[in-house]
C-alpha cells in the first residue's frame, strides 16, 4: 500500500470535556480513493471531516496530510477543497466569480483565471451559466458550482459534507454518478460524509461506518454488506433481521443457536462462541427463500405463518411469525406468477447458515 | 393589489374609522414639522401666517452668516467622525456578539444598548462630570466620543439584524478556498452585510447630526452645532433664519432615512433570493 495521503492518529474530540464526539480515531486514507464516512447523526463523522478541514481542533491526537502534521494548521493554509451541504456559495458574486475565487486568492493572472474557470464550469456542465447569480440556479446546479469552486485550485483532496442531502431522489442519483465520474477522471482523493447507506454503497471504494465516535468497520461496500463485523453495522447497512438467541453448540465457525420457542438454526459464528453465550443473529430478508418441499438442500428450514404482506413491486415483504419464536422478515422476489402466499398461511423459510451471521452480545440477565 | 375580501357593512365603517384616525395621528405628528417649511420662505422679519411675500433671503443668511456656516461645518465634522468611529466599533461588536456564545453575552449587549434606554439627560449629566474629570469637556474628541456612545446602539442593532440572515458557512468556504481571515472578511462577509453596515452608519450620522441635549451639556460656548444654534436662535432672537436651518436639518435627516429604507429593501431582496 502506498503512503496514505491522510492519517488520523489517536484523534479524539470533546466539546464539553467529558463525552467524546470522536474517540481515539485511527484512519489512513489512500491517495486517489473515494472514502465514505457513514453513520447516524451524532456519530462523529462530520466532526472528523471538520477536523480534517481545519474548522475544528482535535482535543488530542494528530492529523497528517502527505506526512505533514496539520493538526493545528488554519484551514486557509491546508489546500483542501470542501463542499458543504448547503453549498455555501457567495450570494453577492456571479457563478464565474464564485468559481474564480480560489484563483483570486492566489493572485492568478486574469487570462489564466478565465481559461480555468471556463474549464471547471465545463467539467460540471455549467459552461453557459457563468454570468448567473447563485440564487438563479437550482439546488443541483448550485452544488455543481460549489464542486467546480472546490476543484479549480486542484487540491489533492476534496471533502464533501453530505453534499446531496438537500436534493430530491432523482437528482441525487444523477449527481452521484456525476461525482463518481469526476472522481475517476481527475484521480483526486475524495472523502464523503453521508448518513445514507445506499449512497455510501454505490459510490465508495471504501466505507468507514461510524457510531459513538468510533469506526465500527472500514471496508469495501461488498465486505460491509456481506460480512458486517458487528450487530451495529449489520443493522445500519442494508435491511436486516436482528434475532436474539442463545448458543447451543459451536463447531468451527458454525454455531447452533436457539431463537426461542422450538426454533433452532445453524449460523455462521462471526465471534468466538461457546455454548450458553447470548448471541444476535443477523439475517438479510432477501437471503430467505420460501421452501416448496422440493427436497432442495438447505441448512435451515423454519416453519411459521404469514402475519402480514407488503407488496413492493419487484418483491414482497413477508412478516412470518414462528411458534414461540421471533417474527422473521423475508423479502421474496416477485417472479413470473403471483406469489402463492396469503395472510395466515403456513410457510417454510429456507436460508443458508452462511447468511445467518451470529455475534456474541452481552445481555443483562 | 391584494384581492379584496367580502366585508359586512359594520366592518367597512370600522375600517373607515381606523383610516381616519390613522390620518389624524399622522397629521398631528408631521404637521408641526412642515409648518416651518413655508415659514422659511417668508420675506418678512417676523414669523406670521399668511406669508406677506416669498423670498430666499433667510437661506442666503443661513449659508453666508459665519454663525450658521460654522455650526453647519461643526455638525458635519462631528457627524462624520462619529459615523466612522461608531460604524467600525458597532460592526465589530455585532460580529463578535453574533459569533460567540459566551455566558455574559446578554449583559454585553445590554450595556451597548444602555444609551437607548437611559434618559438622555442622565447620560448627558454623567458625561459632563466624567468628561470634566478627564479633560474632554468642550473638546472636539469629547463631542465625537459622546455622540459615538449614543450612535453605537443603532449600528449594533442594524448589523446584528443583517447577520441574522447571514450564513456563516460562507466564511468557512472562503477559508477552505485559501482566503485568510482578513481577505475572507473583506471579500465575503463585508459585501454581504454591507447594507446593514451602511444603514447603521447613516443612523449614526443622523443621531449625531440632530443631537442637542448632550451637546448643551458638554460643548464649549464656541462649539456650535446646528441643533444648538437653532436652539439658541429660538430662545434668544427669533430670526427666520432658524426656520431655514430647520428645513436644511429636516432635508438631510429625511434623505438619509429614506436611504436606510431603500437599503433595507435591497438587503431583504438579496437575502430572500439567496434562500
Q: Which among A75, A86, A149 has CB closest to B167? A: A86
Do B176 and A104 lie within an 8 Å CB cutoff? Answer: no
pLDDT number for residue A28: 94
Q: Which among B169, B183, B187 has CB closest to A88? A: B169
Quick count: other Cβ atoms within 10 Å of Cβ B148?
25
Is the pLDDT at A338 greater than 60? The verdict is no
Vertex B211: Cα angle to B208 and B216 (nearest 5): 125
* Chain A (9-28) residues lying within 8 Å, Cβ to Cβ, of chain B: none
pLDDT tens by residue, B168-181: 899 999 999 999 99
Q: Are residues B24 and B108 in the same domain?
A: no
Which chain A positions have a beta carbon within 8 Å of B180's beta carbon? 76
Residue B48 maps to a domain: no
Residue B23 maps to a domain: yes
Quick count: other Cβ atoms within 10 Å of Cβ A241?
20
Q: Is the separation of the CB atoms in B67 and B223 below 8 Å? A: no
Residue B56 maps to a domain: no
Q: Which among B176, B187, B274 has CB closest to A81? A: B176
Q: In what order do the strands lie in the sheet with A214-219?
A: A81-83, A157-161, A189-194, A34-38, A206-211, A214-219
Give φ, ψ of A338 to 5 degrees: -65, 150
pLDDT tens by residue, A154-190: 999 999 999 998 888 888 888 899 899 999 999 899 9
Q: Are residues B193 and B255 in the same domain?
A: yes
DSSP letter for A91, please.
Answer: T
Q: Are residues B8 and B123 in the same domain?
A: no
Residue B131 maps to a domain: yes
Which chain B positions have a beta carbon within 8 Å of A150's beta carbon? 176-177
In terms of Cα–Cα distance, which of A226, A221, A229 is closest to A196? A221
ipTM at complex level: 0.82
pLDDT number for residue A60: 93
Q: Which among A55, A104, A133 has CB closest to B172? A: A55
pLDDT number for residue B274: 44
CATH number of the domain bearing residue B96: 1.10.3720.10
Q: What is the rounded CA–CA span in Å between residue A242 and residue A239? A: 10
Residue B222 maps to a domain: yes
Separation in Å, CA of B193 to nearest CA in chain A = 10
Instruction: Give the number of beta-carbon pairs within 8 Å between A and B.
Output: 78
Do A82 and B174 lie within an 8 Å CB cutoff? Answer: no
Q: From B190, which residue of chain A is nearest by alpha-carbon distance?
A: A92
Is the pLDDT at B100 greater than 90? The verdict is no
Q: Are residues B118 and B12 in the same domain?
A: no
Q: Are residues B86 and B144 in the same domain?
A: yes
Which chain A positions have a beta carbon within 8 Å of B191's beta carbon? 92
Residue B57 maps to a domain: no
pLDDT number for residue B248: 87
Mean pLDDT of all residues in chain A? 89
Q: Which among A86, A136, A149 has CB closest to B177? A: A149
Q: What is the rounded CA–CA span in Å between residue B271 and residue B275? A: 6
Q: Give the residue-averaged pLDDT of A150-156.
A: 93
Report the DSSP beta bridge partners of residue A308. A319
The H-or-E segment that residue B127 falls in is: helix B120-134
Q: What is the rounded CA–CA span in Å between residue A71 and residue A90? A: 28
Give φ, ψ of A210 to 5 degrees: -100, 140
Residue B58 maps to a domain: no
Which chain A positions have a beta carbon within 8 Å of B178's beta carbon? 76, 79, 102, 105-106, 153
Q: Is the separation of the CB atoms in B205 and B255 below 8 Å? A: no
In terms of Cα–Cα distance, which of A113, A206, A179, A95 is closest to A152? A113
A58 grid coordinates? 482535535
Which chain A positions have a beta carbon within 8 Å of B176's beta carbon? 53-54, 75-76, 78, 80-82, 150
Residue A125: which region, alpha, beta or left (left: phi > 0; alpha: psi -120 to 50)? left
Which chain B positions have a beta carbon within 8 Å of A78's beta carbon? 176
Report the DSSP beta bridge partners of residue A246. A258, A278
Q: Quick check: bond before B136 cis, omega within 30?
A: no
Q: Are residues B7 and B140 in the same domain?
A: no
Number of domains comprising chain B: 2
Q: Are residues B188 and B242 in the same domain?
A: yes
Q: Is the separation of the CB atoms in A243 and A328 below 8 Å? A: yes
Which residue did the predictor score with more confidence, B104 or B82?
B82
Residue A115's pLDDT band (boundaries 50, 70, 90)?
very high
Separation in Å, CA of A237 to nearest CA in chain B = 30
Is the pLDDT at B48 greater than 80? The verdict is no
Q: Which among B178, B181, B271 has CB closest to A105? A: B178
Q: Are residues B209 and B146 in the same domain?
A: yes
DSSP letter for A109, please.
Answer: -
Q: Are residues B105 and B237 in the same domain?
A: yes
Q: Are residues B80 and B185 in the same domain?
A: yes
Residue B45 maps to a domain: no
pLDDT number for residue A296: 64
Q: Domain containing B6: what range? A: 2-34
Q: Does A105 touch chain B (CB under 8 A)?
A: yes
Q: Are residues B83 and B186 in the same domain?
A: yes
B29 grid coordinates? 405628528
In terms of Cα–Cα distance, which of B155, B242, B111 is closest to B147? B155
Quick one: what percent of chain A has pLDDT higher than 70? Answer: 96
Q: Give the residue-averaged pLDDT of A309-323.
A: 88
pTM of the prediction? Answer: 0.80
pLDDT tens by residue, B147-201: 999 999 999 999 999 898 888 899 999 999 999 999 999 999 999 998 889 989 9
Q: Are residues B187 and B142 in the same domain?
A: yes
Separation in Å, CA of A194 to nearest CA in chain B = 18
The residue whose grid cell reads 454663525 is B67
Do A150 and B177 lie within an 8 Å CB cutoff? Answer: yes
Amino acid at each position: 500500500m502506498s503512503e496514505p495521503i491522510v492519517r488520523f492518529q489517536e484523534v479524539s474530540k470533546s466539546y464539553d470535556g467529558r463525552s467524546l464526539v470522536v474517540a481515539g480515531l485511527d484512519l489512513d486514507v489512500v491517495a486517489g480513493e473515494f472514502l465514505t464516512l457513514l453513520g447516524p447523526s451524532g456519530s462523529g463523522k462530520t466532526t472528523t471531516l471538520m477536523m480534517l478541514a481545519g474548522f475544528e481542533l482535535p482535543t488530542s491526537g494528530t492529523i497528517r496530510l502527505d506526512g505533514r502534521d496539520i493538526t493545528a494548521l488554519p484551514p486557509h493554509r491546508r489546500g483542501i477543497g470542501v463542499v458543504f451541504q448547503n453549498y455555501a456559495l457567495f450570494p453577492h458574486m456571479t457563478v464565474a466569480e464564485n468559481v474564480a475565487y480560489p484563483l483570486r486568492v492566489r493572485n492568478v493572472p486574469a487570462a489564466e483565471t478565465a481559461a480555468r474557470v471556463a474549464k471547471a464550469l465545463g467539467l460540471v456542465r455549467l459552461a453557459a451559466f457563468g454570468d448567473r447569480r447563485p440564487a438563479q440556479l437550482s439546488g443541483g446546479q448550485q452544488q455543481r458550482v460549489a464542486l467546480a469552486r472546490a476543484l479549480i485550485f486542484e487540491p489533492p483532496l476534496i471533502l464533501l459534507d453530505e453534499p446531496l442531502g438537500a436534493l430530491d431522489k432523482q437528482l441525487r442519483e444523477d449527481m452521484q454518478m456525476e461525482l463518481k465520474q469526476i472522481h475517476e477522471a481527475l484521480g483526486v482523493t475524495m472523502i464523503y460524509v453521508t448518513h445514507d447507506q445506499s449512497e455510501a454503497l454505490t459510490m465508495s471504494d471504501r466505507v468507514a461506518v461510524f457510531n459513538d465516535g468510533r469506526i465500527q468497520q472500514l471496508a469495501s461496500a461488498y465486505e460491509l454488506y456481506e460480512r458486517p463485523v458487528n450487530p451495529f453495522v449489520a443493522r445500519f447497512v442494508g435491511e436486516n433481521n436482528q434475532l436474539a438467541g442463545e448458543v447451543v453448540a459451536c463447531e468451527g465457525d458454525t454455531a447452533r443457536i436457539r431463537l426461542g420457542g422450538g426454533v433452532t438454526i445453524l449460523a455462521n459464528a462471526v465471534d468466538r462462541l461457546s455454548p450458553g453465550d447470548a448471541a444476535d443473529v443477523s439475517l438479510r430478508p432477501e437471503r430467505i427463500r420460501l421452501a416448496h418441499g422440493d427436497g432442495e438442500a438447505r441448512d435451515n428450514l423454519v416453519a411459521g405463518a404469514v402475519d402480514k404482506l407488503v407488496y413492493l413491486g419487484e418483491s414482497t415483504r413477508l412478516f412470518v411469525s414462528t411458534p414461540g419464536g421471533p417474527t422473521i422478515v423475508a423479502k421474496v422476489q416477485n417472479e413470473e406468477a403471483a406469489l402463492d402466499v396469503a395472510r395466515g398461511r403456513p410457510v417454510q423459510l429456507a436460508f443458508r447458515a452462511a447468511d445467518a451471521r451470529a455475534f456474541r452480545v452481552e445481555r443483562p440477565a | 393589489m391584494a384581492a379584496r375580501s367580502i366585508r359586512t357593512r359594520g366592518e367597512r365603517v370600522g375600517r373607515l374609522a381606523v383610516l381616519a384616525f390613522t390620518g389624524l395621528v399622522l397629521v398631528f405628528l408631521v404637521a408641526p414639522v412642515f409648518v416651518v417649511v413655508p415659514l422659511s420662505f417668508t420675506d418678512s422679519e417676523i414669523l406670521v401666517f399668511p406669508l406677506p411675500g416669498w423670498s430666499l433671503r433667510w437661506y442666503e443668511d443661513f449659508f453666508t452668516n459665519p454663525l450658521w456656516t460654522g455650526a453647519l461645518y461643526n455638525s458635519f465634522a462631528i457627524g462624520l467622525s462619529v459615523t466612522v468611529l461608531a460604524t467600525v466599533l458597532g460592526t465589530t461588536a455585532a460580529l463578535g456578539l453574533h459569533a460567540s456564545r459566551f455566558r455574559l453575552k446578554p449583559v454585553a449587549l445590554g450595556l451597548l444598548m444602555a444609551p437607548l434606554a437611559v434618559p438622555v439627560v442622565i447620560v448627558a449629566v454623567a458625561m459632563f462630570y466624567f468628561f470634566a474629570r478627564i479633560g474632554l469637556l468642550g473638546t472636539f474628541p469629547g463631542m465625537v466620543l459622546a455622540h459615538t456612545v449614543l450612535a453605537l446602539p443603532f449600528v449594533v442593532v442594524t448589523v446584528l439584524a443583517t447577520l441574522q440572515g447571514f450564513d456563516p458557512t460562507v466564511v468557512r468556504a472562503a477559508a477552505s478556498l485559501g482566503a485568510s481571515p482578513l481577505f475572507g472578511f473583506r471579500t465575503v462577509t463585508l459585501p454581504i452585510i454591507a447594507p446593514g453596515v451602511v444603514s447603521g452608519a447613516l443612523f449614526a450620522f443622523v443621531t449625531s447630526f440632530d443631537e442637542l441635549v448632550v451637546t448643551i451639556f458638554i460643548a464649549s460656548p464656541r462649539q456650535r452645532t446646528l441643533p444648538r444654534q437653532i436652539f439658541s436662535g429660538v430662545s434668544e432672537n427669533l430670526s427666520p433664519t432658524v426656520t431655514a436651518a430647520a428645513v436644511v436639518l429636516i432635508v438631510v435627516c429625511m434623505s438619509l432615512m429614506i436611504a436606510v429604507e431603500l437599503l433595507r429593501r435591497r438587503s431583504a431582496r438579496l437575502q430572500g433570493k439567496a434562500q
